[in-house]
Each structure stands twice: as C-alpha cells, then as structure tokens.
Amino acid sequence: MKIFRSLEEVPADFGPTIVTVGNFDGIHCGHQHVLKEVVERARQNHSKAVAVTFEPHPFRILRPDVTPRLITPLAKKEELLAQTGLDALLEIPFTRDFSMTTAEEFARDILAGRLHAKEVHEGDNFHFGHNAQGTTASLKELGQQFGFAVVGLKVAIGVQPCRFPGLSACGQRPLHSTLFFDEFVTHAGVIAEAAL
C-alpha cells in the first residue's frame, strides 16, 4: 500500500479510484466491511482502492478540550490498513486552514479532482467539510455534479462486538485481532468486563 502524506504527494494521473473517507480508529468491523467492499469494487472496476484519513484527528485541532483517546496509533493504523488490500492511503494533514474546506470543495478538489474517484463509499452517519456541513445525502448530489457515484451504507449504532477478540458478529475476527486487542488495551485503557 502506498501512503501519501499530503495531497501534493498524489500523482496528477493517479486513478481512477474507489474511495472511502474516515478516521479509521480501531479498524472495527464496520470499517472492515467498507474497506473490503472498496477493495472488491476497485478490482472489479480496474481502479485503485483508496482510504482517505486525517492526521491529526480533527478533534485535536478543532476541539482539543474533548479530544478522544485514540484506539490505534497512526503507525498501527497504517499497518492494519495495509493488510486490507488497499492500494493507497491518503493522510491529509488536518489544520485550521484545511478545516475551512467546504463540502463542495472537498468533493470537487479532492475526491473528483485529485483522486479521480469513480465511487465513494460512506456510512449514513458520514459528515465532512467545514462545520461538518456535508452528509452522505449531500455527497450523492455532489457526486452527480462532479462525476462519481456514492454508495451509502447503513451504520449500526453501539458496540461493535467483533472489535473484541473471540467475538464474531461480522462473521470473522478482526484483522490480526491479537495485535489489535493489545493496542486497544494499551491505548484505550481498561475495557469493562461486560463488554467482553
């Protein structure tokens, strides 16, 4: 998997792509489902499978007082994402200036312009752009305008049981669940016994 640590590192001729955007903290079963679908669709469409994330987590810039503790440090997240079959990971440096990017600018300049997206796969709780103004519904409209399809996925709210080793609500254990569990415990503190 190629890692681009800025938009400028993405070659002008990179693409076409099948894309998903998110923080991917923990690479839980919901993430795994979306990533698997993105990789499969990319192979079917002779495209590149790409995940887009932000570094640091946007809350660290926008709401440092309520920044959540991350489950997966960046290096581990990169390692786990590489194991999904993605062709590339774009880590956009998240700054106050970048936070002013509108939903339309993000769709036009990044998804369509830089990544040449054919499809964008997102959960129905997806928000993007300045003040989180963009939604999956508005992304579909923008996709029509800028030439990419949007695949919206229903997101279940609550604990993702397959996040924990030995539980398989998604039909399989998470990627390298032993390593993942070690990271979860190390970086997120003690997990309530009831959740296990």
User: Quick one: pLDDT at residue 31?
Assistant: 84
User: Is position 184 within any domain?
Assistant: no
Using DSSP, state whether 25 is helix, strand or coil: coil
E-assigned strands of 42-144? 48-55, 88-93, 117-123, 127-128, 134-135
User: Quick one: pLDDT at residue 68?
Assistant: 75
User: Is position 94 within any domain?
Assistant: yes
User: Is position 188 within any domain?
Assistant: no
Query: Is 8 exposed, middle or buried, given 0-12, 13-18 or 19+ CB atoms closer than 10 A?
Result: exposed
User: Is position 84 within any domain?
Assistant: yes
What residues pair up with 128 in beta bridges, in sequence order? 134
Cβ-count burial 127-140 (b if 16+ within 10 Å, e if not): ebbeeeebbbebbb
pTM of the prediction?
Answer: 0.80
Range of the domain at 36: 2-156
User: Is position 189 within any domain?
Assistant: no
In the predicted model, residues of the chain with pLDDT beneath 50 are 157-196
**What is the domain-level CATH number for residue 112?**
3.40.50.620
User: Is position 171 within any domain?
Assistant: no
User: Is position 78 within any domain?
Assistant: yes
- Total domains, the chain: 1
User: Quick one: pLDDT at residue 156?
Assistant: 58
User: Is position 193 within any domain?
Assistant: no
User: Quick one: pLDDT at residue 162?
Assistant: 46
Structure tokens at 102: 């509108």
Q: Where are the alpha helices (DSSP H) in 65-168?
A: 74-82, 96-99, 103-105, 136-146
